[in-house]
Each structure stands twice: as C-alpha cells, then as structure tokens.
C-alpha cells in the first residue's frame, strides 16, 4: 500500500527504498518501466495501481558545513524547520507547517506567505535516471519559478538538498494574509522572534487548512493562475487578485471555485473544506476517478465562464 495524504487506496508493482547511497545500486537494474519517486505522498493523487517501480528516499541526515547545511531528502519538512529554529538559521519561518519531506520541497519550489524555498537552495544532489549517475545541480541549473523546477521532468531522484540560510533574523511580514493577521491580533512586529513567527504561521495555516492526518487532503488542489492584466476588467475578482508586474496579475483559484461551486456535481465521498475552497477533502472511500472527474468539471466550468485555464497543483499519477 502506498502512503498518501489524500487517503486513496493505491498499490505498485515494485518498491525500492533508498536508506543509504549504497542502495542506489538497486537502480541499475531498472529497465524502461515506469518510475514514481514518492516522498511523503502529500502532493499526489494516486490511481489504484501503479504498474511500475516506486522509489522511496529515506536519507535523513543533516550535515553542517561552514557556509551551508546538507539535508537528506527523507527528512521531514517539520524537522528541518525545528532544526533551523534551534540552530539560529533563519529565513524559512514562513514555510512552517507545510506537509511533506525535504526532497519534495525543490520539486514544486514550495512557497508560502511571501517566501519560496528556492531563495535558500545552494544546490541539489540527485541521481540522474538517464545517466545513472549522482549529480549536483546548482540553484541556477534547477530552473526554479513559481511552483516549478527542473525536477518535474522526472529525470532526477533528489537525494540531498544543500541550503544557505540567513545568520540574522529579518522576518518577511509583507504577505497580505500575514500582515492582516498581525494587525488584527495587535501583534507588535518589532517583538517577533523566529519561534514566534513560526508559531504564528502554524496558527494561520491551521485556521485555513485541515490537518491531512485528520481530514485527508493534498492542500491546494489548483495553482493560482497568473494572467495578463489587460484581459480582465480592473474590478474583476477585486480583493482576490495580486499584481505580479506591470502586465500580469495572480488570481485566487479559491474564489473562482466559489463562483462556480453551485454548478458542480460533487460525490458524497468528497467535499471542499469549509474554511478554504481550494482544499478538497476525502470524506472516506473516494476513488481516483471521482477526484479526476471533479477536477475536470471545475476546470471546464471555470474556462467556459471566465476563459481562465486552471492548472492542477498536486501531481496526478495514473496507472
């Protein structure tokens, strides 16, 4: 059984666990069959059966060097946040409480509350499935952009991520949801410590996003689309849009879903989270096909009504 935070029943033909670099020799036996690199399973929608080999990374060492730290891909993201807080390494407090593993972080270039992990990545050590060799890609070779990296090409297995964090604390409090929270709760920004900021982010996320261990989900089900500003009236989605540059704006997928939700046919096994319309929850017994049918419904209705193409955030793994 393949573990995944959406709680879908899934199995695979083969499973290879990488507990040390010596285990990479097992990959030499792989032929042309399909390969799935599975971390904590927090950002995937899995079909019932994967007819190929699943590779799980269990490298969990954290090594400290003079200018950077090297973190195994199997380290839980929450454990890295705690390590940084205890060792006076700053910058990723805003990324607190994101489920998953360190190895998955560069793949989607995870980001939250105005911070993206690519800002702190020095390099990524990985196994190239084409050359069958271990390689190190520098940050500028990883093609990082909004929720994207070269690792989505499926040609690499991330083994370790090398980070350069800040040695002094300079909190990023500019993101609207965060700044509004601080203001609404009368929090003195000058008194914020790294631990306090991390806990605040955790509280905000808990108020908006359900714990996948209690309510199976994969977080945001769609990416927020970036569109040309001139293609829409300046009042369109007012309060749910953000300027990106002189020509582009980012729109709230959650708000777009809310506008077409009455027209959706939603099976009893699924529901949208009460506090955030971008989070889809498995009520129990949901199937892969039910999920995909609903996502396709949403995409079609939003495109027909607004001429906006939504992109699914989690990775869809079909059989």
Q: pLDDT tens track of the chain, all 319 residues?
A: 788 999 999 999 999 999 999 999 988 777 778 889 888 888 899 999 999 999 999 999 999 999 999 999 999 999 999 999 999 999 999 999 998 999 999 998 999 999 999 999 999 999 999 898 999 999 999 999 988 999 998 899 999 999 999 999 999 999 988 999 999 999 999 999 999 999 999 999 888 889 898 999 999 999 999 999 999 998 999 999 999 998 999 999 999 999 999 999 999 999 999 999 999 999 999 999 999 999 999 999 999 999 999 999 999 998 7
Class of domain 11-57: alpha beta
DSSP state of 244: -
Give the separation between CA 95 and CA 116, rounded to whole angstroms. 8
| Cα–Cα distance, 120 to 83 (Å, whole number) | 15
Q: Residue 219 — left, alpha, or beta (φ > 0 → left; ψ -120 to 50 → alpha)?
A: left
Q: 146 vs 96, 150, 195, 308, 311, CA distance in Å? A: 18, 12, 27, 18, 12
Q: Which CATH number fits domain 60-208: 3.30.1180.20, 3.30.465.10, 3.30.70.1290, 3.90.870.40?
A: 3.30.465.10
Q: What is the CATH number of domain 226-317?
A: 3.90.78.10
pTM (two decimals): 0.81
- Residues marked active site are found at 147, 220, 313
Can you give the pLDDT at residue 27? 84
Extents of the domains making up the chain: 11-57, 60-208, 226-317
From the list 6, 86, 80, 71, the residue with the least C-alpha distance to 38 is 6
């Amino acid at each position: 059984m393949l573990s995944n935070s959406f709680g879908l029943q899934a199995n695979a033909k083969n499973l290879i666990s990488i507990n040390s670099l010596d285990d990479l020799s097992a990959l030499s036996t792989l032929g042309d069959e399909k390969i799935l690199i599975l971390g904590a399973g927090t950002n995937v929608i899995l079909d019932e059966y994967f007819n190929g080999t699943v590779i799980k990374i269990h490298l969990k060492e954290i090594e400290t060097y003079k200018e950077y730290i090297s973190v195994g891909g199997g380290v839980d993201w929450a454990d890295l946040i705690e390590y940084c807080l205890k060792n006076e390494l700053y910058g990723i407090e805003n990324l607190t409480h994101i489920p998953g593993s360190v190895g998955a972080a560069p793949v989607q270039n995870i980001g939250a509350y105005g911070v993206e992990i690519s800002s702190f990545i020095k390099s990524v050590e990985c196994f190239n499935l084409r050359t069958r060799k271990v390689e190190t890609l520098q940050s500028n070779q990883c093609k990082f952009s909004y929720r994207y990296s070269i690792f989505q090409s499926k040609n690499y297995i991330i083994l370790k991520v090398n980070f350069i964090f800040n040695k002094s604390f300079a909190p990023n409090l500019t993101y609207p949801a965060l700044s509004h929270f601080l203001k609404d709760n009368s929090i003195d920004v000058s008194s914020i410590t790294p631990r306090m900021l991390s806990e605040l982010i955790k509280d905000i996320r808990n108020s908006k996003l359900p714990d996948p261990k209690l309510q199976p989900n994969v977080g945001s089900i769609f990416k927020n689309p970036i569109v040309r500003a001139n293609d829409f009236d300046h009042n369109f989605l007012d309060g749910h849009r953000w300027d990106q540059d002189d020509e582009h704006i980012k729109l709230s997928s959650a708000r777009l879903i809310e506008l077409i939700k009455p027209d959706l046919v939603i099976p009893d096994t699924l529901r949208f989270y009460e506090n955030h319309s971008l989070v889809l929850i498995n009520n129990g017994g949901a199937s892969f096909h039910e999920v995909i049918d609903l996502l396709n419904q949403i995409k079609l209705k939003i495109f027909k009504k607004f001429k906006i193409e939504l992109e699914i955030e989690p990775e869809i793994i079909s059989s």
